Amino acid sequence: MTGMRLALVAVVVALIAGACAIVPYTGRRQLSMVSASDELRQGEHLYAIARRRSRISHDTVTSNILQDVGRRIATVSGQPQWRWEFTLFDDDEQVNAWALPGGKVGIYTGILPVAKDEAGLASVIGHEVAHAIAHHGAERASQGQLVSILGMGLAVAAGSTTSGATSDLLMQAYGLGAHMGVMLPFGRAQESEADEIGLILMAKAGYDPHAAIGIWQRMSQLKGAQAAPPEFLSTHPSHGTRIRRIEATLPRALEFYEPGRVSNRKLPSLKQLRGGDAGEEALLDAVVKIDRLAAKSGSKETIATEIGRAFDIQPESVLRFSSQASLSPGEATLAFALLRSTKISPERLVDDLRRGSSWWGIIRQAGASPRRLAGDLERVSSRLAGQRPRAAR
């Protein structure tokens, strides 16, 4: 058993020694056991899913501002080889944004009132892009792999020296300790690092980094912000901690800032945004409703059977098509409703979805009626809920 422990230690040391990288701007050494190609592939995959499952804003004014600010941040990111894309999602409830490996950035309309102007938007984008160029996602995945390897080693050691009950307690303590003592603080460290790098990126792009302070002051005033969990239980620093660290980092960021290089247009209010039509909203709600019902059911076969009955398709075909196109149950229902009501081919639909086309774009191009499709989805959700389907109007 001693030989096994030594072998485990040797493996862990070799992994750490051979998987170190340097974070740009901060110079921190990080563990990275995920290849660049795998990271980019995952980013492309998740971005395609996000675009087709979310409603994309049709507001050209705000979208154009997003493209301008995003392009400036991308130019100074140090990643010219990435295929940068910036998408504005029409969701006022989501006060959020994200960036994926390869330069795929999503901004939700709900964060626009917090951003207020171009500088605020640059602060949001800069922070999210910082996560991407610092490879924080790959780093957290690598840390999780390492925690799993160490956990297996502990299980082997504990199993040979303690009773089964004691071994279970040790494993539970190790899992709790790894989560509370490593993963959460590590998440806070990444957030602070992204704040620091984001300030530098927005400053290099021509935006005043002081705007970041206003972002977090307004975030702290949002409904529910005061009910956030204590900082030691969260992956994110508290708003107060964040503001203090940003203030401490400002002098370095200001070294990269040249005032007057860019404009600072105010962002349109949510009332001024031109959202999707009511049919699109009803359709999105119907997709989400089926996904929720499917999650409660927990049986892929049952769901496939109900979808198949609605469109006279074998359940095996439903499962195969859903797997081929990586569709959720709600999306699968929408796909078969679309195939039944238009001349689009299954092959063309799968190809469009894999290329990241949005459902709304596909529906418009196919000339389908969002309201009629929503009616088809409502009948499927009624079946899944065990209710009698409503009569078609």
Kindly tell me if the per-residue pLDDT of 369 is higher than 70: yes
Q: In terms of pLDDT, which residue wins out, 14 or 113? A: 113
Q: Are residues 88 and 139 in the same domain?
A: yes
Q: Which helix (H) or strand (E) holds 29?
A: strand 29-31
Picking from 225, 254, 275, the residue at the C-terminal end of a domain is: 275
390 in a domain, yes or no? no
Residue range 347-375: mean pLDDT, rounded: 84
Amino acid at site 259: P
361 in a domain, yes or no? yes
Would the pTM of this model clear 0.85, i.e. be above it?
Answer: no
128 is catalytic: yes
What pLDDT does residue 194 have?
Answer: 94
DSSP state of 342: S
Give the number of other CB atoms < 10 A from CB of residue 127.
22
Question: What average pLDDT does the chain have?
Answer: 81
Per-residue pLDDT band for 192 (boundaries 50, 70, 90) equals very high
Q: Are residues 317 and 267 in the same domain?
A: no
391 in a domain, yes or no? no
What pLDDT does residue 149 have?
Answer: 61
Q: What is the rounded (10 degree) CA torsion for 58, 61, 63, 69?
A: 180
Q: Which of 218, 213, 221, 379 is nearest to 312 (CA)?
A: 379
- Give the range among 37-41, 146-150, 289-293 with minimum mean pLDDT: 146-150
Q: Are residues 258 and 288 in the same domain?
A: no
Q: Are residues 215 and 306 in the same domain?
A: no
What pLDDT does residue 59 have?
Answer: 83
Say how far apart CA 15 and CA 37 lie, in whole Å. 19
Say how far apart CA 297 and CA 300 lie, in whole Å. 8
Q: Are residues 149 and 232 in the same domain?
A: yes
Q: Are residues 304 and 188 in the same domain?
A: no
Q: Are residues 347 and 309 in the same domain?
A: yes
Q: Are residues 362 and 326 in the same domain?
A: yes
Domain that holds residue 113: 1-275
Q: Are residues 304 and 248 in the same domain?
A: no
What pLDDT does residue 391 have?
Answer: 42
Quote the percentage of the chain above a pLDDT of 90: 37
Q: Cα dist. 111→42, 96, 101, 114, 194 in Å?
A: 25, 6, 21, 5, 18
Residue range 248-275: mean pLDDT, rounded: 87
20 in a domain, yes or no? yes
Q: Are residues 318 and 364 in the same domain?
A: yes
Q: Which helix (H) or strand (E) holds 87?
A: strand 85-89
Q: Are residues 283 and 271 in the same domain?
A: no
Say how far apart CA 337 and CA 334 lie, in whole Å. 5
392 in a domain, yes or no? no
For 21, the 3-state DSSP assignment is strand
271 in a domain, yes or no? yes
Q: Are residues 269 and 302 in the same domain?
A: no
**Residue of 85, 128, 191, 196 marked active site:** 128
At how many degrees (to 10) do helices 164-178 and 136-161 cross? 160
pLDDT in tens, 21-63: 899 999 999 888 878 888 898 889 889 888 888 888 878 889 9
- The number of residues in the chain equals 393
Q: Whose structure tokens read 């049952």?
A: 302
393 in a domain, yes or no? no
Picking from 255, 275, 295, the residue at the C-terminal end of a domain is: 275
Picking from 253, 275, 297, the residue at the C-terminal end of a domain is: 275
Q: In terms of pLDDT, which residue wins out, 90 or 13? A: 90
Say how far apart CA 88 and CA 102 lie, in whole Å. 17
How wide is the angle at C-alpha 89 spanned by C-alphas 321 and 48, nearest 5°?
30
Token readout for 283 is 């359709």
* Inter-residue contact 349 to 363 (CB < 8 Å): no
| Cα Rg of the chain (Å, integer) | 24
The total number of structural domains that make up the chain = 2
Residue range 87-92: mean pLDDT, rounded: 92
Amino acid at site 293: L
How wide is the angle at C-alpha 354 spanned by C-alphas 48 and 111, nearest 5°?
15
Sequence-distant (≥ 6) Cβ neighbours of residue 144 within 8 angstroms: 183
Q: In terms of pLDDT, which residue wins out, 278 or 113? A: 113
